[in-house]
Chain A
């Protein structure tokens, strides 16, 4: 009985001490990185505003109002109105909903598919590796823009617009992630702790999920954060040329496409500057967060 109490005491003592897990160490380092923390706060604020837009704004963003077109910024319309008389401020926030959703969702899908394929190819090796990597090469060589345009046109009307785009982008973009994950797994599986895991009776699934993936997770997370920036740009450019999100749904790319009109571009900057700045700052912030994560996970950096 005596011994048991002692052990519990020891437990309590340790639990109150600082946590030395590699995740906790990385978190501490990340919190100390000011630029990354500012960027993260900005992203969180922007996401929060976008998510809450329908609740804080009392504007019908789809309503066309021909009496109030192309109004410059005023106290009533903070960012003015566009050529259909819609409030630009409201549309920027609503556009954030769509653009951020597409960025986040397609990043998650791409990372999930890429990680599963890369991990299996890297760990199992042999014929399965050959097959999966040829599949990856195949996906990587697709002409991306053409395929998105074609697939989107075929699928539109059958599935709701935004999710069609997310699906199409994801299915065409996982190649790079799969390759990176595979190469990291190939390097990591040579460590003796993988042999040890096999010898203590872990199934191949458990070896991958519990021993390999946590050790390559830092790379995957950094990769995913940078990928999200790319995905937002992809959405914007596709919408800009008119093949992304359906034109009636506000997204930053759709709003920018108004700038194709030279009169808007030259004389009515309030219509296209807000979405432009939103995209720029979002991507900048995501990249700073990504860099911060990279530093935090790197045991050699003391920043």
Chain B
């Protein structure tokens, strides 16, 4: 993919905390630090993959960037415009430029809406045209995502998971957005259907010159899709690099462990597997210093005190670790 040099999305020190309510009168008694100080950039036309285990804040990051959640702190700059604390009508106007493909193809389509209604709704919201007037555009979109024109008059419950995901993709593309956040778009699908949907996403990227933020927990899927990859752990971005550089030379101990866990198809090839001890700490009360120090195989005294920041170890390869 041809990535130009202009930055489309810039995220700086983003924090999203969920308040925990409890006790008398439901006061806020603490926070789940779902995203804790994440910074990165996405250039126009590229695909940034975001990986990490369940609960590490990938989805929260994606949703906060699209302002479906409110950030606690930090800044989100989209196409030169600060959208961190936009509200109401201003925000609705901006939403046109960034759309989302959701994880669950069953819950992300309104069961009471006709597919034609679902796909044309974004266009109608922004142009005020009627369903009849945008019909041709919807038929074009259906064709682009590989669905028959009949689909227009059908309801979500009449489709399979893969087809529903195509409907979701058509909805996201209806407004010709610049950025599409794909939140685990294939993890709920059959393996046989996964590749079809992934290839569809790639083709559409070429055709509409889209920029993707691709969130997944499957390392091979991310490698297939992305130009650059960010690795998240406990609400923090621990490593971000070009995909080849990341897979060939993972620097962060967590990334090393992740990559060593990718299964290889060759049964005779012996691989050294790094097995991490313990569990992910509770994000309500993350450990002091480096978030990974409780499980790190090469932990140092410094790691328990000082939180490492991202620094460039090679060209275009940043790691947050005290070892480098």
Seen from chain A, the residues whose Cβ lies within 8 Å of a Cβ on chain B are 7, 10-11, 13-15, 20-23, 191-193, 195-203, 206, 211, 214-215
Provide the bound-state CA to CA distance between A13 and B151, in Å.
12
Provide the bound-state CA to CA distance between A193 and B153, in Å.
19
Provide the bound-state CA to CA distance between A193 and B171, in Å.
11
Q: Quick check: A203 and B92 within 8 Å, CB to CB?
A: yes
**Further pairs besides A201-B126, A214-B110: 6, Cβ < 8 Å:** A10-B148, A195-B68, A195-B100, A195-B102, A196-B100, A200-B99
Question: Measured between C-beta atoms, what is the minimum distance from B88 to chain A in Å?
Answer: 9
Q: Which of B110, B152, B175 has the most CB of A within 10 A?
A: B110
Q: Quick check: A201 and B125 within 8 Å, CB to CB?
A: yes
**A-B complex: 4 closest residue pairs judged by Cβ atoms:** A200-B122, A192-B108, A201-B125, A214-B112
> Is B155 an interface position by the 8 A CB rule?
yes
From B66, B110, B153, A215 is in contact (CB under 8 Å) with: B110
> Is B73 an interface position by the 8 A CB rule?
no
Q: Quick check: A20 and B171 within 8 Å, CB to CB?
A: no
- B residues near A203, Cβ cutoff 8 Å: 92
Question: Measured between C-beta atoms, what is the minimum distance from A165 to chain B in Å?
Answer: 36
Question: Measured between C-beta atoms, what is the minimum distance from B27 to chain A in Å?
Answer: 13
Q: Quick check: A7 and B102 within 8 Å, CB to CB?
A: no
> Is B217 an interface position by the 8 A CB rule?
no
Provide the bound-state CA to CA distance between A60 and B102, in Å.
67
- A residues near B139, Cβ cutoff 8 Å: 7
Q: Quick check: B68 and A198 within 8 Å, CB to CB?
A: yes
Provide the bound-state CA to CA distance between A193 and B152, in Å.
18
Question: Measured between C-beta atoms, what is the minimum distance from A29 to chain B in Å?
Answer: 15
- B residues near A23, Cβ cutoff 8 Å: 112
5 example contacts (A-B, Cβ-Cβ < 8 A) are as follows: A11-B149, A193-B108, A195-B63, A199-B68, A199-B100
Q: Quick check: B66 and A20 within 8 Å, CB to CB?
A: no
Provide the bound-state CA to CA distance between A198 and B96, in Å.
11
Question: Measured between C-beta atoms, what is the minimum distance from B22 to chain A in Å?
Answer: 16
> Is B266 an interface position by the 8 A CB rule?
no
Interface 1/0 per residue, B108-151 and A, CB below 8 Å: 11111110000001100110000000000001000000001110
Q: Quick check: A200 and B110 within 8 Å, CB to CB?
A: no
Q: How many residues of B contact A (CB 8 A)?
A: 37
> Is B103 an interface position by the 8 A CB rule?
yes
Question: Measured between C-beta atoms, what is the minimum distance from A249 to chain B in Å?
Answer: 42
From A14, A192, A195, A200, B125 is in contact (CB under 8 Å) with: A200
Q: Quick check: A20 and B154 within 8 Å, CB to CB?
A: yes
Provide the bound-state CA to CA distance between A48 and B148, in Å.
47
With A196-B100, A196-B171, A200-B175 given, is the CB distance from A21 to B125 under 8 Å?
no
> Is B95 an interface position by the 8 A CB rule?
yes
- B residues near A211, Cβ cutoff 8 Å: 110, 113
Question: Measured between C-beta atoms, what is the minimum distance from A190 to chain B in Å?
Answer: 9
- B residues near A196, Cβ cutoff 8 Å: 100, 102, 108-110, 168, 171
Q: Quick check: B122 and A201 within 8 Å, CB to CB?
A: yes
Q: Quick check: A22 and B111 within 8 Å, CB to CB?
A: yes
Question: Measured between C-beta atoms, what is the minimum distance from A125 to chain B in Å?
Answer: 11
Provide the bound-state CA to CA distance between A257 and B99, in Å.
65
From A13, A192, A201, B96 is in contact (CB under 8 Å) with: A201
- A residues near B100, Cβ cutoff 8 Å: 195-196, 199
Provide the bound-state CA to CA distance between A15 and B149, in Å.
12
Question: Measured between C-beta atoms, what is the minimum distance from B150 to chain A in Å?
Answer: 5
With A7-B149, A14-B153, A202-B121 given, is the CB distance from A215 to B111 under 8 Å?
yes
Provide the bound-state CA to CA distance between A268 and B171, in Å.
70
Provide the bound-state CA to CA distance between A195 and B103, in Å.
12
Q: Which residue of A lies closest to B63 (CB)?
A: A195
Q: Quick check: A21 and B149 within 8 Å, CB to CB?
A: no
Question: Measured between C-beta atoms, what is the minimum distance from A114 to chain B in Å?
Answer: 21
Q: Quick check: B112 and A200 within 8 Å, CB to CB?
A: no
Interface residues of B in 58-103 (CB under 8 A from A): 63, 66, 68, 92, 95-96, 99-100, 102-103
Q: Which of A7, A201, A214 has the most CB of B within 10 A?
A: A201
